[in-house]
Amino acid sequence: MTRLAAAAMLLTLLSATQVAAQAPSPEAVRGLRILGEHCARCHTLSPSGPSPLPAAPPLREVYDRFAPRDLRAMLLQGMVSRHREMPQVELTPEDADAVLAALYSLAGGK
């Protein structure tokens, strides 16, 4: 998926998921852009349905799998993966916080 296609999908998802709930914060929107650029090829950003790569968990589930402090530490370390295909992404502390905000938003604010 190209970056442009990922960005278009992200904007579509954002507008489609704006139920009566609160709109994502600007930080979460920035995090969704980062996720769209680096992760959407394999992981879905959608509020439902499977990921494009069946073995890749939907990103809406990631926030619930880890304590936020541990997840932030993993993001800052490059999210070491168990498989070679997952790109190593170096994030600044600000980017890691934006991704955490996005993951929280995708999880439904749980």
At position 74, the amino acid (one-letter code) is M
pLDDT digits (tens, 9 = 90+) for 1-41: 555 455 445 555 555 544 435 688 999 999 999 999 999 99
**Mean local confidence (pLDDT), 67-89:** 81
Confidence of residue 70 (pLDDT cuts 50, 70, 90): very high
pTM of the model: 0.76
Which CATH number covers residue 53?
1.10.760.10
Number of structural domains found in the chain: 1
Comparing 101 with 4, which gets the higher pLDDT?
101
Q: Taking a C-beta distance cutoff of 8 angstroms, is the pair 62, 71 a contact?
A: yes
Residue 44's domain comprises 3-16+23-106
